[in-house]
A and B are shown apart, each in its own frame.
Chain A
């Protein structure tokens, strides 16, 4: 079977609605896409619904919100009708998620090693010694130089880049088939950003995972992903191959591409987005 074309995730007309005091707010309004074993980028500004899309797939939508979809299926499993118990078994095991800031997403009172071991032992029956060995091997795989030392450190004792690598190690240890990375490098320095992306890239291609990469940085996403979905006000405004980004049709996509300062491009003032109400329609 051709693993590249096999569909891992199928999303059709996904909607996420939040009840508020002033009425219903639709954060995601009919998003459809499918994911194979590839790298898919979801790009948009704050409030475009990109993170809520990722969270709905992961099953981390706040309880007061309502999710509806014609189809939300992971590897043939209907995510909307499975029991919370089955959902828990999927989460962390077959679907993993990396969040933006390791400072907040790691447990501050537990050593990094123990957190990784905990993930592994939740999903697999392995002995303590073996779990430790596998955690150490995983830390090495994310290019942490001295895994044995880092294993015993607490999150506050490591840098942001190191914390994010530990987070990736924790997410990959159960061998997920799909990973959702929500702004995995936004809290990091530019140089560290590239290291972390390099690690992600290598692991994704080696293990044949499907990756959803959520970010507001269109340029970064396009240099990293195979395909890009651009979201605005809860809707997909454009879907295109990363290599064809130069031929983007939608003014919003083009605006996002142009608004970043570039070395060597002398543009004063920078072009800004002229948001049109009909984009949200």
Chain B
């Protein structure tokens, strides 16, 4: 079976800074894969490199068996869509939800826009009442739902999720995570999800990679984490951190 995403010895260099130092990764179709690490570990850079948003110096990325060149074509973006961390920064402030959702449809030449917009809004649990609002009239959770609707409207097979809930309240986070799981099940999507929170990754993903300083530290399954079968100190530290504060 060809992997949905295959990354081989990927290097990303910003000026002289090596943000990714030869990272390899395979994500199977329909799988949910997590990337964990602290700020600066390169997890978001890896995601952005796949989306074509980071300068790749060497190595290769293949999506559904097709190796990607330096420029992404339209067909790529029909297959792969991304949801960003900050729902306040990723929606156009002067466009209504309707206009935001029309944009990808117009780019890809869809004619049944009306129907698709309604379906996408229903799917993320926002009714038609939200269609002609501006993003500043929405709460953080609602904005992130719009961002998810925008990603889903082209019916991609792969979703890249960059900390989709870290800007949200704990209670709203649960709603958005449930929504993501639901659409993945319904549409048999492949997820590649970045988070600094191990608990979220074990909840959402079957397999994960721990990263630090632009390198892969270790590859684990969610079951490994639950039973604390980790080999590296770095991962152990992350695990301890997710247990909360313990007075010394």
Contact = CB atoms under 8 A, between A and B. Distances in A.
Nearest to B166: A186
B156 to A, nearest CB: 22
Interface string B165-204: 0000111111101100110000000000000111110111
Contacts of A160: 39
A228 to B, nearest CB: 13
Contact of A268 (B173, B181, B244, B247): B181
Nearest to A195: B241
Contacts of A23: none
A260 B174 contact: yes
Nearest to A275: B171
A176 to B, nearest CB: 22
Contacts of B242: 190, 263
Contact of B177 (A190, A192, A194, A270): A270
A221 to B, nearest CB: 9
A190 B241 contact: yes
Interface stretch (A8-16, A77-85, A86-94, A212-220): A212-220
B96 to A, nearest CB: 21
Contacts of A259: 170-171, 173-174
B241 A263 contact: no
A190 B196 contact: yes
A88 B196 CA distance: 39
Q: By CB atoms of chain A within 10 A, which of B38, B174, B199, B239 has the most?
A: B174
A216 B169 contact: yes
Given A191-B38, A263-B226, A272 B246 contact: no
B164 interface: no
A180 interface: no
B202 A261 contact: yes
A256 interface: yes
A19 interface: no
Interface string A256-281: 10011111100111111100000000
A: contact size bracket = 35 or more
Q: Which of B139, B140, B182, B242 has the most C-beta atoms of chain A within 10 angstroms of its own C-beta?
A: B242
B240 to A, nearest CB: 8
B17 interface: no
A51 B200 CA distance: 26
Given A45-B171, A46-B140, A217-B170, A272 B226 contact: no
Given A190-B197, A269-B178, A269-B182, A46 B169 contact: yes
A5 interface: no
A189 B171 contact: no
Contacts of A45: 169-172
Contacts of B171: 45, 255-256, 259, 272-273
A218 B170 CA distance: 9
A157 interface: no
Contact of B246 (A189, A223, A267): A223
Contact of A270 (B174, B202, B237): B174
A261 to B, nearest CB: 4
A201 to B, nearest CB: 6
B217 interface: no
Given A261-B203, A272-B178, A256 B170 contact: yes
B248 interface: yes
Interface in B122-172: 139-140, 169-172
B196 to A, nearest CB: 5
Contacts of B175: 272
Contact of B198 (A202, A220, A256, A263): A263
23 contacts: A159-B39, A159-B40, A189-B39, A189-B196, A190-B238, A190-B242, A191-B238, A192-B38, A193-B241, A201-B245, A220-B245, A223-B246, A255-B171, A259-B173, A261-B177, A261-B197, A261-B199, A261-B204, A270-B203, A272-B174, A272-B175, A273-B171, A273-B174
Interface of B: 38-40, 139-140, 169-175, 177-178, 181-182, 196-200, 202-204, 225-226, 237-242, 244-248
List the 3 closest A-B pairs by CB distance, nearest first: A261-B203, A259-B174, A269-B178
